[in-house]
Structures are given as structure tokens and as C-alpha cells.
Amino acid sequence: MLNETLFSSGDLPAGDRFDAWREVMDRTHAPMRLESPRAADFQARVRLIEVGPATVWPATFEQLVFLRTPRLIRRADPEQYHLSLLIAGEGHVSWGRVQNTYTALDYHVNDSSRPYHIWTGEQAITSIGMELPKALLPLPRSRVDEVLGRRLTAKAGPGALLAGFLRQLSDDADSFTPSDGPRLATVLADLVGLLFAHALDDERSLEPETRTRALTLRIKEHILRNLHDPELTPTSVAEAHHISRGYLHRLFREEPAGRRGVEDGDTPAGYIRRRRLEGAARDLADPALSAVPLHVIAGRWGFGRPAEFSRAFRAAYGMPPSEHRRLALAALGGAALGEVAPGGAALGGVPGAEVPVRR
């Protein structure tokens, strides 16, 4: 799993909580002056997830004021951009004369080299913060300066794409390894660059390689959202993104193995089939769905013909769907202890876990 540190104020005496939170924030972002009307018994919880040179930190905390002053900047500047995806609550930010208010599914962006003043509403904040070294971002700093102070949305477009990545990274941090960190940080920087360029209406300012990766990410997100549709094919995917089938195949051929679920030699059709089978395998191993007929599960993952589903499943897992379900449900107790089914496929089907496909 990715290296992760958990801070929970509930683990400390009430009088020590706010000072401990201040130390965590100083180490995570940059030295700041923090104030809170609830400092006497401050409630906060944060996970610090190391993603190569970047940090992602899902957090919940009570009413708070953040102050980054010129004096603190002179004391220490980690040269990084901070983004927060606000999930619940309300925040207000001031950069001198520029002010803005942020609510759920908004991003706000800070630069560790510039003073700012942030204050939150009375409702507790839930957010996913991110610290990204400036050197990683594929945009000139002068262009990023134009984004500071803007209200960027996570409801659609590049913002939604970045939000999905941050949520998945936060939820599935234990499915990655520290060696995945630098590659994940590159994807993260590309998505942030895409969000900023989109806000500036200037995607042309991105490097060609970054534009290509961003397009590939959009294509994979489209595929994952539409796996249930039996009409999802490489042709329909290419048409939805206004590219040729040949260029779609080229994107997959040039995508490094391991990035966003790509396996070596994946084709668009192979990627669609594998993701559908993984979803079906999870459902078959879910005790809550044990009474659902096999053909219904096949249909919900885009397999229009049960015979086609059975052949594809046997080819991938070495057993028919019914046998996979039987073994998974029979081994539920053992799966909690880490038992592995014949052929190496994990049993038990933890919801959201990815089941490996044998080739």
C-alpha cells in the first residue's frame, strides 16, 4: 500500500489536540498561523497519503482560520501548489484584494509562495487536499497565477475527472504500492494541468504528451462509466471522442502497463472485456447478490448473451461463473484471512476490489 499516516484528534487529550493539528498542517502544507473558536477541544481527522513527491490528504475538521503570511513564507517555502476539493462545508479565501467563496464540489487553489487568508463556516469541513510540487505541473507558472482565486468546479469536465481520481486514490490507497507513487503523481499533475488549462480555455498550453495522456484518461473514464451498455465498443468509444479507431488503438498501445489499470498488450476491446469481467467477478463473489441469476449479472456488465459471458469468464478465470461464485461464497470465512483460490484469484469479492484476470 502507499505510505500513509493517520492523525485523529480523538487519540489525544482535549488540550493537546489543536497544537497537534497545527504541527500536522505545518508539515503537510507549509507553515501557517491557525486559529479556531473550538481550539479548546478541536476535532479533526486526516490521512496523509504519500503519492511519490505529492501528498493527498482526505480530511474532516472543525471551524478554522488559516493564515499564510509573508513572514512565514520567508521562513519556509516548499514551492508547491495546494488544491482542496471541498466535499462538505463552506470556505472563504482572500488573496489581498481578491476573495472568493467555495462550497461543495468546488476546488480552491493556493500557492505556497503567496500570502493568503482562509476561513471556514460553522459546519465541519470535509475535503480532499493535495500538495503538488510546482516542478511537476505541465504549465508555466505565469499561467497558473491566472487560476489562483478562481472557483473551479468538480461537477463536470476535467474537474470531475480529477475528483474521481482523488476519490479512488483515497479509497483504494492500499491497492497501490510505494513504487506506484511517482507514476500516480505524474497522472495527478497531468489532471491538475488539464483542469487549469481548461479553466484558462487554453489546452494548447499543455505539452503534447500531457494532452495525449489526458485524452487517454478521459477515454478510460468513459469506458468505466458505460461498461453496462452492450453497445459499448471500440468504434463507439472512438466516435464519442471524435477520433479514429486506429488512433484509439494507438493510444492504448502506447499507454505504459500499470497506468490506470492498463495491462501489457491491452487493446481497447480487451480493456473493455477485462473490466466487465472484473465487475462481474466482484458481483458473483458478493453474498448480497447470491440469489441474482447469472444471466442478470452478465447483462448488468454489458454481456448480451449468457453463452458469450460464460466463455469469456472461463477463458479469463479458468472456471465457469457458477464455480467462481460457489468457491467464493464457500470461502468467505477463509477470504477474510487472505486465502487464495486455485489459479491465484482472491475469493470473497470485497466490494470495489479488483479481481485479477489470468491471461
Is the domain of 221 the same as that of 339? yes
Is the domain of 136 the same as that of 253? no
Each of the 359 residues of the chain gets a pLDDT tens digit; together they read 899 999 999 999 999 999 999 999 998 988 999 999 999 999 999 999 999 999 999 999 999 999 999 999 999 999 999 999 999 999 999 877 667 889 999 999 999 999 999 999 999 999 999 999 999 988 888 888 888 878 899 999 899 999 999 999 999 998 899 999 999 999 999 999 999 988 887 555 566 777 787 788 888 888 988 899 999 999 999 988 888 899 999 998 887 654 444 454 579 999 999 999 999 999 999 998 999 999 999 999 999 899 999 999 999 999 999 999 999 888 875 444 343 333 333 333 333 333 333 33
Listed residue (29, 48, 58, 51) closest to 131, CA to CA: 29
> Both ends of the chain: CA-CA distance in Å?
24
The residue among 185, 206, 227 that closes a domain is: 206
What 3-state class would DSSP assign to 124? Answer: coil
What 3-state class would DSSP assign to 117? Answer: strand
What 3-state class would DSSP assign to 266? Answer: coil
Q: For 254-258, which contacts have Cβ atoms below 8 Å and span 24 or more sequence positions?
A: 254/212, 255/216, 256/183, 258/180, 258/183
The CATH number assigned to the domain holding 300 equals: 1.10.10.60
For cell 465487475, the residue is 279
- Count the alpha carbons within 13 Å of 170 in the hemisphere toward its beta carbon: 20
The CATH number assigned to the domain holding 146 equals: 2.60.120.10
Is the domain of 170 the same as that of 273? no
pLDDT of 218 = 80
> Which ranges of the chain would DSSP assign to H, the alpha helix?
17-28, 70-75, 141-145, 157-171, 181-199, 208-225, 234-240, 245-254, 268-284, 294-300, 306-317, 321-330, 332-335
For residue 248, give its domain range.
207-359
Is the domain of 295 the same as that of 333? yes
Is the domain of 16 the same as that of 114? yes
pLDDT of 77 = 93
Rounded to the nearest 10°, the torsion over CA 285, 163, 210, 353 is -10
Is the domain of 245 the same as that of 176? no
Is the domain of 258 the same as that of 183? no
Is the domain of 74 the same as that of 177? yes
pTM score, two decimals? 0.61
The residue among 158, 179, 206 that closes a domain is: 206
pLDDT of 257 = 52
pLDDT of 41 = 94
Report d(CA 8, CA 11) in Å as an integer: 6
The residue among 206, 230, 252 that closes a domain is: 206
Q: Are 154 and 163 in contact (CB under 8 A)?
A: yes
For residue 231, CA distances in Å to 203, 223, 228, 261, 265 come to 31, 11, 9, 22, 23
Is the domain of 110 the same as that of 254? no
Is the domain of 160 the same as that of 297? no
Report d(CA 291, CA 271) in Å as an integer: 28
Is the domain of 282 the same as that of 352? yes
What's the number of domains the chain is made of?
Answer: 2
Is the domain of 132 the same as that of 13? yes
